[in-house]
């Protein structure tokens, strides 16, 4: 049976399948032929070849037109599904309907990015796409571009230093560094100085995979040293620690401003000029034209792009 099925599939032509679909809907050979661009004679010959190959009349002439046999009914249903799948696959501009989608989007974001973006992003998604779910992932230690390439993750959002191979990117905005201490820190009563910056103990978040890996090199180029006394893997605990200690931390200015609205913190510029950097969207070339991916990218750009 499997061999016969393979033989049938190998012998079929696309126009024969289109004829089955059109005939099932029209019940008239002439109308079906016209719909798919064949003459009635060519359609008649195609149907005859199909009957011979499949060993079934498929359609029988009745008082109500051409009606399918039981086998013809099953065949027409399968052909209809197959043609719909083929048309969807061939469509270069398929549509993503956020209002009815139940898709789960996977996005790489740091803890800081989550704090900055999620409060504005989630209400927008809920309003436009109530059935959509967002799953946030941490930056993997190795080869993050591979999970973008595979489609396991749709987007990465942040100031990454290792999402390069095969990835497209879009700048969101320009960011610069700020120094943050507790509001009543005695060493900074009169503002930032190079001497105070170098002498005050500092906290450092693990910078691997982000542009902040270069921060010590930038400071060294300006002959500015710092004394790091606390290393933490994530950022979100630090502002609470800073507000209750003599530690200093260097962070993104937008994050500093957000925390200063909630905690007694003081924001100052670094003692030397540091390079700015650009948080970006990253996605793989494979999904550049994917409508769902483009929709989510558009939300980020609309909400956070400058």
Model confidence pLDDT, tens digit, residues 114-159: 999 999 999 999 999 999 999 999 888 778 888 898 899 999 999 8
Measure the CA–CA gap between 216 and 207, rounded to whole angstroms: 10
Collapsed DSSP state (helix, strand, coil) of residue 171 = strand
3-state secondary structure of 39: coil
Give the integer Cα–Cα distance in Å for 73 and 48.
17
Looking at residue 8, its pLDDT comes to 60
From the centroid of its chain, how far is CA 199?
44
Q: How confident is the model at residue 6 (pLDDT cuts 50, 70, 90)?
A: very low
Cα–Cα distances (Å) from 176 to 137, 151, 260, 274, in that order, read 25, 32, 16, 8
pLDDT of residue 84: 80
- Residue 175 is given by DSSP the state B
| pLDDT at position 163 over 70 | no
Give the residue among 60, 56, 18, 17 at the shortest CA–CA distance from 37: 18
Which residues make beta-bridge pairs with 240?
A: none
Residue 218: pLDDT band by 50, 70, 90 thresholds?
confident
For the cut 80, the answer to whether the pLDDT of residue 7 exceeds it is: no
Instruction: Tell me if 176 sits within 8 A of 274, measured CB to CB.
Output: yes
Model pLDDT, residue 213 = 80
* Cβ(68)–Cβ(59) below 8 Å: yes
Q: Give helix then strand counts, H and E, for the chain.
A: 12, 12
Closest CA to 233 of 112, 106, 108, 107: 112
Nearest to 185 by CA among 241, 228, 246: 246
> Stretch 252-264: mean pLDDT, rounded?
93
Among candidate residues 291, 296, 295, the one with its CA nearest the CA of residue 106: 296
User: Domain 177-268 is of which CATH architecture?
Assistant: 3-Layer(aba) Sandwich (3.40)
Burial class (CB in 10 A: 0-12, 13-18, 19+), 28: middle
What is the assigned CATH class of domain 104-173+281-304? alpha beta
Query: Of 3.10.580.10, 1.20.1240.10, 1.10.10.10, 3.90.550.10, which CATH number belongs to 2-90?
Result: 1.10.10.10
Rounded to whole angstroms, how far apart are CA atoms 74 and 59? 12
Largest CA distance in the chain: 100
Query: What pLDDT is attached to residue 139?
Result: 85
Q: How big is the chain, counted in residues?
A: 306
Q: How confident is the model at residue 1 (pLDDT cuts 50, 70, 90)?
A: very low
How much is the average pLDDT of 266-293? 93
> What would the DSSP string read from start to end of 269-283?
--SS----B--EEEE
Residues whose CB is less than 8 angstroms from the CB of residue 40 and which lie 6 or more positions away in sequence, other chains included: 29, 30, 33
Per cent of the chain over pLDDT 90 is 57
- At 2, the pLDDT band (50, 70, 90 cuts) reads very low
Question: What is the band of 270 on the pLDDT scale with cuts at 50, 70, 90?
Answer: very high
Burial class (CB in 10 A: 0-12, 13-18, 19+), 259: buried
Please check the confidence at residue 181 and state whether its pLDDT lies above 50: yes
Residues of the chain with CATH 3.40.190.10: 104-173+281-304, 177-268
* Mean pLDDT, the chain, whole residue set: 89
The predicted pLDDT at position 92 comes to 66
pLDDT band at 4, cuts 50/70/90?
Answer: very low
State the average pLDDT over residues 223-247. Answer: 90
Task: Using the predicted structure, report yes or no on whether residue 303 has a pLDDT greater than 60.
Answer: yes
Average of pLDDT values for 72-77?
A: 92
H/E element, 61: strand 59-62
């Amino acid at each position: 049976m499997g061999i016969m099925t393979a033989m049938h599939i190998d012998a079929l032509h696309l126009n024969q399948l289109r004829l089955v679909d059109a005939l099932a809907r029209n019940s008239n050979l002439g109308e079906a032929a016209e719909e798919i661009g064949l003459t009635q004679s060519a359609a008649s010959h195609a149907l005859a070849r199909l009957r011979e190959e499949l060993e079934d009349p498929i359609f029988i002439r009745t008082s109500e037109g051409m009606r399918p046999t039981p086998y013809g009914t099953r065949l027409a249903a399968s052909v209809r599904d197959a043609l719909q799948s083929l048309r969807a696959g061939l469509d270069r501009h398929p549509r993503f309907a956020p209002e009815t989608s139940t898709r789960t989007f996977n996005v790489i974001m740091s803890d800081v990015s989550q704090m900055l973006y999620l409060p504005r992003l989630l209400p927008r998604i809920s309003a436009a796409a109530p059935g959509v779910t967002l799953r946030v992932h941490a930056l993997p230690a190795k080869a993050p571009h591979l999970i973008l390439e595979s489609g396991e993750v749709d987007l990465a959002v942040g100031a990454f230093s290792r999402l390069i191979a095969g990835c497209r990117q879009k700048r969101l905005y320009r960011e610069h560094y700020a120094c943050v201490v507790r509001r009543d820190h005695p060493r900074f009563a009169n503002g930032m100085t190079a001497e105070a910056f170098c002498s005050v103990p500092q906290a450092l978040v693990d910078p691997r995979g982000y542009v902040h890996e270069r921060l010590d090199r930038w400071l060294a180029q300006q002959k500015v040293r710092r004394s790091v006394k606390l290393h933490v893997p994530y950022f979100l605990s630090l502002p609470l620690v800073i507000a209750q200690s003599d530690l200093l931390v260097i962070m993104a200015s937008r994050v500093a401003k957000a925390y200063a609205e909630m905690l007694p913190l003081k924001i100052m510029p670094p003692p030397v000029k540091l390079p700015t950097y650009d948080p970006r969207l990253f996605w793989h070339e494979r999904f550049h034209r994917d409508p769902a991916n483009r929709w989510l990218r558009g939300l980020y750009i609309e909400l956070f792009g400058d």
